[in-house]
Amino acid sequence: MSLPTLLRSLLLLAASAFLALGAQAQTGPVDYPLAAGDTVRVQVFQNPDLTLETRITESGLISFPLIGSIRLGGLPVSAAEKKIADALKSGGFLQNPQVTLLLTQIRGSQVSVLGQVGRPGRFPLETASTRLSDMLANAGGTAPSGDDVVIVSGQRAGKPFRKLVDLPALFLRERSDDDIVLQGGDVIYVHRAPVFYVYGEAQRPGSFRIERSMTVMQALALAGGPTARGSRDRLQLHRQQDDGSVKLLAPQMNDLVLPNDVLYVRESLF
Residue-by-residue pLDDT tens, the chain, 270 positions: 444 444 444 444 444 443 333 433 343 454 678 888 889 999 999 999 999 999 999 899 999 999 999 999 989 999 999 999 999 999 999 999 999 999 888 777 789 999 999 999 999 887 778 899 999 999 999 999 999 999 999 988 778 999 999 998 888 876 678 899 998 889 999 999 999 999 999 999 999 999 989 999 999 999 999 999 999 999 999 999 999 899 999 999 999 999 999 999 999 886
- CB-side neighbour CA atoms (13 Å) of 40: 32
Q: What angle do CA 188, 190, 191 make, to 5 degrees?
A: 135
Q: What is the pLDDT of residue 22?
A: 40
What is the pTM assigned to this prediction?
0.64
Contact 48, 54 (CB under 8 A): no
Rounded Cα–Cα distance for residues 118 and 146 (Å): 10
> What's the CA gap between 63 and 89, in Å, rounded?
17
Q: What pLDDT sits at residue 143?
A: 94
Where do the domains of the chain lie, and which CATH numbers do they carry? 12-105 (3.30.1950.10), 130-192 (no CATH), 195-267 (3.10.560.10)
